[in-house]
Structure 1
Amino acid sequence: MKNMTESVASIGRSAKQQLILTAERLYARHGLDGVPLRQISSEAGMANKSAVQYHFGSKPGLIDAILVNRVEGLTHRRSLLEARLPPGDLRRVIEAHQLPLIELGEDEDCHYLPFLEQLVQEMHPLDNLPETHRASERAYYARVGALITDVPQPLRDIRIHQASSTCLHVCADRHRMRALGMTVTPFALHVSQLLDSLVAQLSAPPSDETLATLRSVPTDRPTLRALP
């Protein structure tokens, strides 16, 4: 029944869109190096087995297309949520940025979060993301950083990056559990508890050990990759 549902859902999609969604699903399940381009074309229902190369030029071009397909919607939803932010509320700032990503994990037909996990592990270059997304990420770092000034740099940026990674991995793991038919926490509790954890992760006072270590090591700000 699921295969019939997927087949019906694919009607009306362009060839490029069908390739993008098929690749997202296969990469999420098998890894970026575990799926030949011809397999993606075949499972997307393309008669031309070189359809990926025709539409995207290469595997990196396809991966960039998967990112853009999701990032544009994420950035737009974030901008709408951020427009209603009250001043000085760290939890609401985190929620406005992370909730759109959290919501994707609830769609059983969306495989973006486990795909993104694979992408982060493989260190795929993110140079071709839209400027609107990169500007959104910079604004998020600045907005959160201004609310955790008791945490010195470069710890501030490190924590913001680690909190985003935590959110990704928690939600990707929940997506996998739901796909396996396992019982998961109700969505409202999942979101509330996750936001509590992220606030604590970002705002906890650094230990004396961490502060002493910070004083003893180079203080150049590390290179951090914004998560799509």
Structure 2
Amino acid sequence: MTDGKTEQSARTRLALIGAAEELIALHGVSAVSSRQISKAAGQGNNYAVGHHFGSKDDLIRATLDKHNASIDRLRQKALDAIASDPQVRDWIRCLVCPEIEYLGGLGAPTYFARFFANVSSDPATTILLYEKMGESEPLLAILEGLYGALPEFPAPVLEMRNNMTRHIIVNTLADIERAAESRDHPVTPWQQQCEIVVDALTGMWLAPTTAAP
């Protein structure tokens, strides 16, 4: 009996994660309530999110965790394969390509990239992303390598280019995911998509600085 309840609870949790991912991807964080997520997951109990996760924020954390473990394995693989004397472009490839590779392997339709973009753009949930970033050892190692390879920038330039990098990666992934749903849209291999983004970000980071320090 206990095993059956545990399995049922695990299935319910996965259903709630799937429903939250899709609804938040399509409508945004603030437009989606825990009750709507419970209903979309086929739960008669309107308080299923609270029962299984505690809060909507905790459900968002669990949704991020569902994907981050696999992305971290790809990040570690990229780190293990990095050149002996890595340059800025090498580190940016480590930053970008695992996420695009992961997304390319999910198939369509998928909602994770758009879910991530909406969580990232909502001031109430952006902090949840930074929490998860701080838990990723491969990601922290990549960022440390990137910052060590960069030219020295004035603090405002570094902050602005950091923000631009995040926006470019997050929103490009959402665009790739959205385009994959369209039968009329030609499918670009993830490897090619990766190189396009890496080229753009490398150019941005190595662009000359004209702003006064």
Alpha-carbon offset, residue 27 of structure 1: 0.5
Equivalent residue, structure 1, for 2:182: 180
- C-alpha change, 1:142 and 1:156, in structure 2 (3 Å) is farther
Alpha-carbon offset, residue 76 of structure 1: 2.4
2:16–2:38 contact (8 Å) kept in structure 1:
yes
Partner deviation per Cα, 1:48-92 (whole Å, 9 max, x = no partner)? 332111101111111111112222222222012101111223222
1:31–1:118 contact (8 Å) kept in structure 2:
yes
- SS of the counterpart of 2:149? coil
Aligned: 1:145 with 2:142: no
Equivalent residue, structure 1, for 2:202: 199
Equivalent residue, structure 1, for 2:158: 156
CA–CA separation in structure 2 for the residues paired with 1:142 and 1:50: 42
- SS of the counterpart of 2:176? helix
Alpha-carbon offset, residue 137 of structure 1: 3.8
Partner deviation per Cα, 1:90-130 (whole Å, 9 max, x = no partner)? 22221222212113443324311111111121121226437
Quick one: which amino acid aligns to residue 28 of structure 1?
A
Aligned: 1:41 with 2:43: no
Aligned: 1:132 with 2:108: no
Number of residue equivalences: 199
Q: CA RMSD in A?
A: 2.5
Quick one: which amino acid aligns to residue 55 of structure 1?
H
CA–CA separation in structure 2 for the residues paired with 1:158 and 1:118: 20
102-111 or 168-177, which deviates more: 102-111
Equivalent residue, structure 1, for 2:168: 166
193-202 or 41-50, which deviates more: 41-50
Equivalent residue, structure 2, for 1:81: 78
Quick one: which amino acid aligns to residue 156 of structure 1?
L
In structure 2, the gaps of 5 or more residues are: 1-7
- TM-score normalised by L of structure 2: 0.81
Quick one: which amino acid aligns to residue 97 of structure 2?
L
Quick one: which amino acid aligns to residue 113 of structure 2?
L
Aligned: 1:19 with 2:16: yes
Percent sequence identity over matched residues?
24
80-89 or 156-165, which deviates more: 156-165
CA–CA separation in structure 2 for the residues paired with 1:160 and 1:36: 31
- SS of the counterpart of 1:46? coil
Equivalent residue, structure 2, for 1:96: 94
Equivalent residue, structure 2, for 1:4: none
1:148–1:156 contact (8 Å) kept in structure 2:
no
In structure 1, the gaps of 5 or more residues are: 1-10, 216-228
Quick one: which amino acid aligns to residue 95 of structure 1?
R
- SS of the counterpart of 1:186? coil
CA–CA separation in structure 1 for the residues paired with 2:140 and 2:159: 11
Quick one: which amino acid aligns to residue 14 of structure 1?
R
Alpha-carbon offset, residue 138 of structure 1: 3.3
CA–CA separation in structure 2 for the residues paired with 1:105 and 1:16: 22
Equivalent residue, structure 2, for 1:118: 118
Equivalent residue, structure 1, for 2:4: none
- TM-score normalised by L of structure 1: 0.76
Alpha-carbon offset, residue 32 of structure 1: 1.0
Tell me which of the two structures has the higher relative contact order, counting C-alpha pairs closer than 8 angstroms and 6 or more residues apart.
2
- SS of the counterpart of 1:45? coil
CA–CA separation in structure 2 for the residues paired with 1:130 and 1:167: 14
Q: Which runs of 4+ in 1 moved over 6 A?
A: none
1:81–1:96 contact (8 Å) kept in structure 2:
yes
Alpha-carbon offset, residue 184 of structure 1: 4.0
